[in-house]
A and B are shown apart, each in its own frame.
Chain A
Amino acid sequence: MAYLIGSLAVTEMEIRKLRHDPTELFTRGVQRVLWLLIFGQALSSIRAIPTGSVNYQTFMAPGVLAQSMMFIAIFYGLSIIWDRDQGILQKLLAMPVPRASFVTGKALGASIRAFSQVVIILLLALLLRLDIRWSVTGVVYSMIAILVGASFFATLSMILAVLVKTRERFMGIGQLFTMPLFLASNALYPINIMPKWLQILATINPLSYVVELLRGYLLNGNAPLFFRDWTILLTATILIQIIAARLYPRIVL
């Protein structure tokens, strides 16, 4: 119980912070627009990649959505280092609150930020008249997939923050991680056109499952392999939260 209340309190504070300064939500959105608009249009017209019954731009939209979610979540770990530098973490860990709350609360905070991106990209998709099946359940399930995905990557980056210790190193390693994770997934191209080694990487990459779910919900109204995808995603997220909660007190040092 204390764990839940603690998590919600941390999340609420992240929302309040956003209210005081929402600019970062917009600045991130711009990059996504570029990918979808320019890259997507270009590849659609040359029909270089076989994307089945929809054009490439539509195919890549869920991928771009997932990418922006992952990007935000991973760099959110930076805020943990910032908190530590400021000594905030030391005070929180000295409080009578279960330490796991902070890990979950921050993960949820990352999800809230990721949601803003969902809105921007869906709006863009609407404007570009992409072939999206606009259904309420589809959108709701997509939101949940984004929430879980963001939690996973935010927690991953928190673990990174524990191991890496300095802000500069984290930025470097963060950059090192995000692009390969994005490229070694089915965000930009279907798995079956990848060389074998890339297929293997894409299969163990949680981002692929988020994208698969999003593609299903947004383009088809439902996701055919949803049971497998959700199981993998949720298990991965729960596992990584447990690992992070174990490591968390070590950040103070």
Chain B
Amino acid sequence: MDWAIEVKNLIKRFGDYEAVAGISFAVRPGEVFGLLGPNGAGKTTTMRMLATLLPPSSGQILIEGVDALRYGSLVRRLLGYVPQALSADGTLTGYENLLFFAKLLRLDKKERERRIHEILDLLDLQKAANKLVREYSGGMVRRLEIGQAILHRPRVLILDEPTVGLDPVARHTVWNILEKLRAEIGLTILITTHYMEEAEAICERIAIMNRGKIVAQGTPAELKVKAGKPQATLEDVFAYFTGDQFESGGTFREVQQVRRRIQRFS
């Protein structure tokens, strides 16, 4: 079976601290897979390693069979990354944000315009294309970022906490778009989240992560059965597998950052 994403015994240490303590999982092509866990579990660090921003301390990452450590630039072509922060450039318009990425990709003018308009259409941003991103709602920024991440037609899209800080309507819009991308383009999608309902709503399979380790993997239904309670909430499942309460606080700095971002875009 050819996996779209394969992670084998991935470890990341910062000094003495093991942020990712040896995890392994695999994602099928065209699947939506979720890494579920509280803040501090090591999800963002894992995403950064997949996006080739951070080298692993040990272990292997294969994206569409390509070794991320040895062929970083090729992996960056195959993969699209949407980081946790709402990170479109507020001092430019939506169109310009896409233009920037299109130019960096060295697309010629015709191809650029074609892809930009394709994406604006797909993500329902045509009307706002020439407004400054500073004026966009959180949901619109998120959609724009997804657009930036798929401009180079990657096979795999990874999103770190895609709906954090968004209102319920925006969240559903993002979920719908991810599903649309999966269905229409056949994109493989990996998300991290600490929202139970998000994992249940859009992921086919999930891996539960806590303190740098994966404690369980499977479809939400399978995990609930394993936890002995078919009617369980994912909270119960989490508690069962980790023995912890799912306390999703995060450090002060993280919460401060999330709050600032929400304020900026509401």
Residues of A within 8 A of B (CB): 2, 5-6, 8-10, 12-13, 16-17, 20-21, 85-88, 90-97, 101, 249, 252-253
Contacts and interface: CB of A to CB of B under 8 A. Distances in A.
A2 B106 contact: yes
A20 B132 CA distance: 9
Interface stretch (B27-35, B75-83, B117-125, B200-208): B75-83
Given A6-B104, A87-B83, A90-B87, A96 B92 contact: no
Given A9-B104, A97-B104, A91 B132 contact: no
Interface string B63-95: 000000000010011010111111111111100
Interface stretch (B2-10, B48-56, B225-233): B48-56
A91 B101 CA distance: 10
A16 B132 CA distance: 11
B73 A94 contact: no
Contacts, number: 81
Interface of B: 48, 51-54, 73, 76-77, 79, 81-93, 96, 100-101, 103-106, 132, 145, 148-149, 152, 257
A101 B101 CA distance: 13
Contacts of B83: 87, 90-91, 94
Contact of A96 (B73, B93, B145): B73
12 contacts: A9-B104, A16-B92, A20-B93, A86-B85, A87-B83, A87-B84, A87-B85, A88-B87, A94-B53, A94-B81, A95-B152, A252-B53
Contacts of B81: 90-91, 94
A8 to B, nearest CB: 8
Nearest to B84: A87
The prevalent SS among residues of A at the interface is: helix
Which 10 A-B pairs rank lowest in CB-CB distance, beginning with the nearest? Answer: A87-B85, A87-B87, A9-B103, A94-B81, A94-B51, A96-B76, A90-B83, A87-B83, A96-B77, A17-B91
